[in-house]
Amino acid sequence: MRGFLHAGRSLENLNALAESRGIRTESGKPIRFVLPGADDPYYEIGVYQSGCVSTRPENLHDWFNALAWLAFPRTKARINALHARELPNDPKGRRGPLRDLLTIFDEGGAIVTCTDEPLLALLRSASWRALFWENRDRVRQELKITVFGHAVQEQALEPRLGITCKAIVLPEGNLDEQAARWLGEAPAGASPKMLLPVPIFGYPGWSEGQDARFYEDKRYFRP
């Protein structure tokens, strides 16, 4: 898998895709993936003002961040714009609660789509054994998890117990548009508490050794 990722990893490829899809910041700047510079301004401000996303092709974290821009351009642009808007209001050297939410979702976010309300109730109540074990067939059919966060994408190359996303629940449809709207409509005082923890390694079939006892390990499946 790593060899496959390395084979197509170049700024030229990324920029060709970004240009062909017309990806822009909310300030109207075309997104371009560039090597980091010595005098880069604060990251999110720099992206918002110039459209230039510092990207090290050899760095998988940066690579998955670039892929997130290609897959979810509206959501990434909204996250960037909200960071740029909120930064002047934050105490010096500290993120406020909204920017905490944005950062956590950007790095480790996921989108849950499901019309089965009993399953969503189990998810919201962190009833992991009931959700992932007792209803595993229904989960496979009815509950879809789309991983957005680029840090989680990188971690999934070497799966381990404990990998957890922080999720929002959206209707089926254009997830990029809907996620961008959800973030843009976050109320004043929004914080990471609005995100649902989802231990994705417990999703049926995601990892080996899943049985009833697997979901009783409170180190990972916390109530």
Q: Which residue from 22, 169, 190 is spatially nearest to 95, judged by alpha carbons? A: 190
Average pLDDT score over residue span 93-106 = 91
Mean pLDDT of the chain: 91
Residues 40 and 115 in one domain: no
| Alpha-carbon span 77 to 166, nearest angstrom | 19
Q: Is 222 inside a domain boundary?
A: no
Which residues share a beta bridge with 30? 24
For 60-189, where are the alpha helices, taking DSSP H only?
Answer: 60-71, 73-86, 97-108, 117-124, 128, 136-142, 150-155, 175-184
pLDDT at 88 over 90: no
pLDDT at 206 over 60: yes
Describe the chain by its helix, strand, coil percentages, rounded to 5: 50, 10, 40
Flag whether 83 is in a domain.
yes
Measured N-to-C along each axis, helices 60-71 and 73-86 cross at an angle, to the nearest 10 degrees, of 110
Of the three residues 53, 73, 94, the one that is the final residue of a domain is 94
Q: Which of 50, 69, 94 is the last residue of a domain?
A: 94
Q: Report the pLDDT value the prediction gives residue 8, as an integer from 0 to 100.
A: 61
Instruction: Report, as an integer, the average pLDDT of 34-57.
Output: 86
Of 37, 59, 94, the one marking the end of a domain is: 94
Give residue 65's identity as a one-letter amino acid code: N
Q: What is the pLDDT of residue 4?
A: 39
Coil vs helix vs strand at 157: coil
Digit-coded pLDDT (tens) for 127-183 = 999 999 999 999 999 999 999 999 999 998 988 888 999 999 999 999 999 999 999
What's the sign of the alpha-carbon dihedral 210, 124, 198, 115? Answer: positive
Q: Does the pLDDT of residue 21 top 70, yes or no?
A: yes
Considering the domain architecture, whether residues 131 and 163 belong to the same structural domain is answered as yes
Higher pLDDT, 33 or 38: 33
What pLDDT, on the 0 to 100 scale, is given for residue 93? 64
Query: For residue range 110-140, what is the model confidence (pLDDT) as tens digits?
Result: 999 999 999 999 999 999 999 999 999 999 9
User: Residue type for 208, please?
Assistant: E
The reply to whether 90 and 10 lie within a common domain is: yes
pLDDT tier, 1 (very low <50, low <70, confident <90, very high otherwise): very low
Q: Which residues contact 29 (CB under 8 A, 6 or more apart)?
A: 48, 49, 50, 51
Asked, for residue 13, whether it belongs to a domain, the answer is: yes
Based on the fold, state whether residues 89 and 109 are members of the same structural domain.
no
Containing structural domain, residue 109: 105-216
Same domain (yes/no): 136, 77: no
Percent of the chain clearing pLDDT 70 (strictly above): 94
CA-to-CA distance for 209 and 132, rounded, in angstroms? 13
* pLDDT tier at 39, thresholds 50, 70, 90: low
Number of H helices, E strands in the chain: 11, 6
Q: Above pLDDT 90, what percent of the chain?
A: 78
Instruction: Dig out the tokens for 135 from the structure.
Output: 């209803």
Whether residues 138 and 85 fall in one domain:
no
**Is the domain of 123 the same as that of 209?**
yes
- Structural domain count of the chain: 2
